Amino acid sequence: MELIGGIKEAEITKTTKMLQDYGSDIEDVLAGKKGIDSLETIISIVSKLLGDGNLNLFDKMLANYLLGESHNVLIKKTCSPQEAQFNNPIVWKAVYFYRMALLYVEGIFEKKQVALFVTAKLHQYSALIQLGDVYSHMGRFQDGIECYKNAALLYPNDYKWKFHFGFTLFDTHGYYERSAERFVVSLMKDLLKDCLDKKEYSQSANYVYGIIKDWQTPDLKDDRPTNFESTEDDEYNHWVNQNVLRLNAYNDINFTSTLCQEDSLYFDGVYSPKTEPDSWRILFQMLNEVKQEYVSARYMLYSYFKKSGSNHVSDKNVRLADLYDRSNYSFHLELAKSAFRSLYSILDKIAFALNDYLDLKMNPERVNFSNVWYENSKSYRIKEEILKYKSLYSLAGLLFIRNDIYGGADDYLQAEETRLLKKVRNAIEHRAIIIVDDGILEDDGSVLNISRMEFEGVSVNLIKTVRQAIFCFVNAVNHIEYDKKLEITKNGEMIIPQEIDPVKDDEKV
């Protein structure tokens, strides 16, 4: 991505002052002092400034941040918090512009523009919190928590990230396993307690705290840490948890906890009507496939990160042409490529499961994660069978992930970093990819040259995105099943609990 603008990168200009004034106008709209038509004017002017291509790096950061803020205020003023935003470009644009602002902040840090560090850090902090909120309201709770935790690293003692993090935990504490949920509520209390007297948040913080203050919760100190040994198994498990790759929601809260050492994410139970007593089996079979493929891809990536650079027996006595392009060829690199393929395969399996579970009526042989959502892929008209779940944030979160991975006709549908993901996947599947220890990205149409650091960054981005997709999928099913069971019991009918036995580890051969 090209970060440099058309004039001196760090120069404070008249445009800078104008952009800063727009920030005050946006705050006035949020406070109700100005109408939302002011936002439309700001969006139009700032978008044109960006499109002209003459802004310096600092002003690009400000402009993208302001566009993120403008669209976020539009969300708050025009969208119901009770409804999932399946097809709302305002929400997509808010995410896109906050992400772009964060990329430009990184550019300022990379170019060591020290005079701008304080301002850039403040915008980074605010963008992370607001992006975390938008993620959380679209059902991407894991992504939201990551934003709040990154904001906490910038200003650990500030109350703003604590309020937003605590409020999100209040909305989502039911998604954690019982053993972990009590610690989540305990953390929630600690976070919100610091916000009770803060004018900006006191009303909401006191309301939520009034609900949870009498709930029985343990001391957070009772959350026992895991002692990782120097064995190969423990090194792997420590890597998984430290990088927050466990299929366990509590991994996002406390990666050292004994409560998050298993990939325990699963359905709470699936209702089967009397007419289809075995219908639940398909969903469980598909989730088995998804989880096993995920943990295998995860280990393949770990093996690449851990062992790449060492010789493997399968690479010996293989005659390859030395083209002096510094390219890496090895079994461990092929493991990373295989992980890429598996992670994309997982998304298609989720789509296949949704097609069956939600009765989307697509030909099973044509289903994939990109097309399962739409009546018409050209117009991007979303299926009515999906839109009827008006409050199902996790399902909307899956659709947002689809856009992140595959993009669409509009630039704002896809994150800047996932554009590179598409290039890498295409090269892995259809042409040559040359990974070098260092260098710049080059793509001549036949060969993609990429540095090891960039390749590894793309790999981590992909597996984290797929992990989030698995959570969204499971949370969506659990939400639908919970509503089904409420309706059944309300009508006086009985639900027979399912007894699901886990596959023993020694049977996984």
Residue 176 is encoded by which pair of tokens? 């954690």
DSSP 461-481: HHHHHHHHHHHHHHHHHHHHH
338 shares its domain with 277: yes
228 shares its domain with 112: no
* Residues above pLDDT 90, as percent of the chain: 63
Per-residue confidence (pLDDT) for residue 508, from 0 to 100: 63
Angle (CA) 12 148 215, round 5°: 145
Residues 6+ apart with CB under 8 A from 401: 140, 347, 465, 468, 469, 472
pLDDT (average), residues 201-212: 95
Q: How far is CA 505 from the centre of its chain?
A: 30
d(CA 507, CA 509): 6
d(CA 116, CA 99): 19
Helix (H) or strand (E) holding 382: strand 381-382
- Asked whether residue 182 is domain-assigned, the answer is no
443 shares its domain with 357: yes
Q: Residue 277: pLDDT above 90? A: no
Task: Mean pLDDT check: name the lowest of 88-102, 432-446, 452-466, 483-497.
Answer: 483-497
Q: Residue 139: pLDDT above 60? A: yes
Per-residue confidence (pLDDT) for residue 3, from 0 to 100: 42
Residues spanned by the domain of 403: 265-314+321-507
pLDDT (average), residues 14-26: 91
User: What pLDDT band is residue 7 in, cutting at 50, 70 and 90?
Assistant: very low
21 shares its domain with 122: yes
d(CA 342, CA 288): 14
User: What pLDDT band is residue 438 in, cutting at 50, 70 and 90?
Assistant: confident
Residue 212 is encoded by which pair of tokens? 């949870």
Per-residue confidence (pLDDT) for residue 281, from 0 to 100: 84
- Asked whether residue 57 is domain-assigned, the answer is yes
- Phi/psi of residue 148, each to 5°? -65, -40
Per-residue confidence (pLDDT) for residue 509, from 0 to 100: 54
Residue with tokens 């005079």: 115
- Phi/psi of residue 382, each to 5°? -75, 145
User: Which one of 213, 243, 259 terminates a domain?
Assistant: 259
User: What pLDDT band is residue 498 in, cutting at 50, 70 and 90?
Assistant: low
Nearest to 282 by CA among 270, 292, 273: 270
148 shares its domain with 295: no
- Asked whether residue 206 is domain-assigned, the answer is no
d(CA 450, CA 443): 9
pLDDT in tens, 51-78: 998 899 999 999 999 999 999 999 999 9
332 shares its domain with 448: yes
Q: How far is CA 111 from the centre of its chain?
A: 27
41 shares its domain with 83: yes
Residue 86 neighbours by CB distance under 10 Å: 21
d(CA 479, CA 389): 10
User: Which one of 100, 134, 156 terminates a domain?
Assistant: 156
466 shares its domain with 413: yes
User: What pLDDT band is residue 142 in, cutting at 50, 70 and 90?
Assistant: very high
345 shares its domain with 450: yes
pLDDT in tens, 447-494: 888 888 888 999 999 999 999 999 999 999 999 998 888 888 787 776
User: What pLDDT band is residue 500 in, cutting at 50, 70 and 90?
Assistant: confident
- Asked whether residue 208 is domain-assigned, the answer is no
Per-residue confidence (pLDDT) for residue 340, from 0 to 100: 93
d(CA 422, CA 370): 13
pLDDT (average), residues 96-109: 94
Per-residue confidence (pLDDT) for residue 507, from 0 to 100: 64
- Return the higher-pLDDT residue of 2 and 389: 389
Give me the CATH number covering residue 38: 1.25.40.10
Q: Residue 173: pLDDT above 90? A: yes
Residue 169 neighbours by CB distance under 10 Å: 26
Alpha helices in 358-451 (DSSP H): 384-387, 393-406, 416-430
Number of domains in the chain: 3
236 shares its domain with 269: no
Q: Residue 210: pLDDT above 60? A: yes
The distance in angstroms from the start CA to the end CA of the chain is 45
d(CA 45, CA 339): 44
- Asked whether residue 190 is domain-assigned, the answer is no
Q: Residue 499: pLDDT above 70? A: no
Q: Residue 209: pLDDT above 70? A: yes
pLDDT (average), residues 185-195: 96
- Return the higher-pLDDT residue of 351 and 277: 351
DSSP 70-117: HHHHHHHHHS-TTS--TT-HHHHHHHHHHHHHHHHHHHHHHTT-GGGH
pTM (2 d.p.):
0.91
Task: Mean pLDDT check: name the lowest of 10-14, 89-93, 418-422.
Answer: 10-14
- Asked whether residue 255 is domain-assigned, the answer is yes
pLDDT in tens, 305-316: 888 777 777 777
User: What pLDDT band is residue 497 in, cutting at 50, 70 and 90?
Assistant: low
- Asked whether residue 173 is domain-assigned, the answer is no
Q: Residue 6: pLDDT above 50? A: no
Q: Strand 374-376 relative to strand 381-382: parallel, antiparallel, unpaired?
A: antiparallel
- Asked whether residue 212 is domain-assigned, the answer is no
Per-residue confidence (pLDDT) for residue 1, from 0 to 100: 39
485 shares its domain with 425: yes
250 shares its domain with 135: no
